Amino acid sequence: EEIDRIKQQIEELKRKGDFNKLAELQYDRLPKLEKQLKEAQDKEASAGAANKPRLLRTLVGAEEIAEVVARATGIPVAKLMQGEREKLLQMEGKLHERVVGQDEAIEAVSDAIRRSRAGLSDPNRPLGSFLFLGPTGVGKTELCKALAGFLFDSEDHMVRIDMSEFMEKHSVSRLIGAPPGYVGYEEGGTLTEAVRRKPYSVLLLDEVEKAHPDVFNVLLQVLDDGRLTDGQGRTVDFKNTVIVMTSNLGSQHIMALSGEKDEVIREAVWGEVKAHFRPEFLNRIDETVIFHALDAKNIKSIAKIQLRQLEARLDKLEMKLDVSDAALDEIAKVGFDPVFGARPLKRAIQQRVENPLSRLILEGRFGPKDVIPVDVDAGEFSFGRVVH
């Protein structure tokens, strides 16, 4: 403020012609103040470099700019500031924290993303395009959520479109928007509007085999050129999206041939996929990934993950959960169904643990700062005494 005030005085003295006072301010006072300001800025910068805690930061740095840009555009700049190489090289490990088993699927997705980020993929196509095949409840959707969280720092960057809603021929217009003169022209399309608002996202097209064949004509352009023109003539850019299509085609072969070699399973599933989808569509997909049925060991690992999520919810209530090994084994046993995958496991945890626990919390048996031990005896779950 003092420097600005002196600069204003200098301008006034120039207009008045008082050169004696002007020389004093311009060549004595002003340089001294500028030197003091520079020393203060250098001192603050060195303090910041030493990571000294500060209650108030007077300098705007890269982190603040990244936060503002991310808030305004929806682009996760703060995540992009991290060491990109280290993050991508550890991609499989991060995805395995949420998706159990399915090593082949995670490796294929990770390799495709690394190819794109290394600059070896076609820059005019999406970051990656995948067709996930497998029975229900084996982790297809969960891998998409994990991928969105890994790449874009939030599951909110996953756009999910249920393709069973586009079974009729006329439903193509709902994807890209109605043409001029038709009802709904101003609303835009389901697909184009979602990507236009979130250009950095994982696009999940669920149960893609149920869509009308004309829908695939629209997807051909997206997979090939990485762009699509909506009903209002605007070009929507898909180059920063990861496109994942899921399908249950061939899942009966995966279940029937469980334990066989991967080549045998792939051949059986691929035959059914080729009979349903056209060659020009399959040729444009980066990777076709087969998800295998889950076994009892996988279900136990998933039970641990889901119980950790329950523990995180209890943390907000200032309570802890202590599940015994016997209780964990019983949950995995009750929740294991090779046909339905991991979905019965969630119901088992709700019925055997969450339902009785919620009743006990409402009765006042457990409160803040309590540790809740969970055990099992003869198939019945018990919640022991409160441990403070």
- Amino acid (one-letter) located at 322: D
Rounded-to-integer distance, Cα 154 and Cα 77, Å: 12
Q: Which residues contact 333 (CB under 8 A, 6 or more apart)?
A: 296
Q: Which pLDDT belongs to residue 181?
A: 67
DSSP β-bridge partners for residue 380: 377
Rounded-to-integer distance, Cα 60 and Cα 284, Å: 45
Q: Which pLDDT belongs to residue 283?
A: 92
pLDDT in tens, 367-387: 888 888 888 887 788 887 655
pLDDT in tens, 43-61: 776 665 555 444 445 677 7
Of the pLDDT bands very low, low, confident and very high (cuts 50, 70, 90), residue 144 is very high
Of the pLDDT bands very low, low, confident and very high (cuts 50, 70, 90), residue 200 is confident
Of the pLDDT bands very low, low, confident and very high (cuts 50, 70, 90), residue 87 is confident
Average pLDDT over residues 8-24: 84
pLDDT in tens, 155-195: 888 999 999 888 888 888 888 877 666 666 667 788 888 88
Closest CA to 262 of 122, 134, 112, 72: 134
Q: What are phi and psi of 245, to 5 degrees?
A: -115, 130
What's CA 74's distance to the chain center, in Å?
Answer: 13
Rounded-to-integer distance, Cα 293 and Cα 301, Å: 14
Here the tokens at position 186 are 């101003």
Overall fold of domain 296-387: Helicase, Ruva Protein; domain 3 (1.10.8)
DSSP β-bridge partners for residue 228: 236
Q: Which pLDDT belongs to residue 55?
A: 43
Rounded-to-integer distance, Cα 164 and Cα 8, Å: 70
pLDDT in tens, 234-265: 888 998 899 999 998 888 887 777 767 778 88
314 pLDDT above the threshold of 50: yes
Question: What's the burial of 301, exposed, middle or buried (CB within 10 Å: 0-12/13-18/19+)?
Answer: middle
CATH of 92-290, one of 3.40.50.1980, 3.40.50.1370, 3.30.70.1350, 3.40.50.300: 3.40.50.300
CB 130 within 8 A of CB 286: yes
Query: Helices 2-16 & 30-49, crossing angle to 10 degrees?
Result: 160
Q: What is the share, in percent, of the chain residues with pLDDT greater than 90?
A: 14
Closest CA to 303 of 269, 279, 275, 333: 333
Q: Across all residues in the chain, what is the average pLDDT?
A: 83
SS3 of residue 257 by DSSP: coil
Q: Which pLDDT belongs to residue 20?
A: 84
Q: What are phi and psi of 113, to 5 degrees?
A: -65, -40
214 pLDDT above the threshold of 60: yes
Pairing of strands 201-206, 158-162: parallel
Here the tokens at position 97 are 């924290």
Q: Which pLDDT belongs to residue 132?
A: 92
CB 249 within 8 A of CB 203: no
66 pLDDT above the threshold of 80: no
Rounded-to-integer distance, Cα 232 and Cα 251, Å: 39
SS3 of residue 293 by DSSP: coil
Q: DSSP class of residue 291?
A: P
pLDDT in tens, 104-143: 889 989 998 888 877 787 888 898 899 999 888 888 999 9
Here the tokens at position 318 are 């200032």
Average pLDDT over residues 10-15: 84
273 pLDDT above the threshold of 70: yes
205 pLDDT above the threshold of 80: yes
The order of strands in the sheet holding 241-247 is 158-162, 201-206, 241-247, 128-133, 287-290
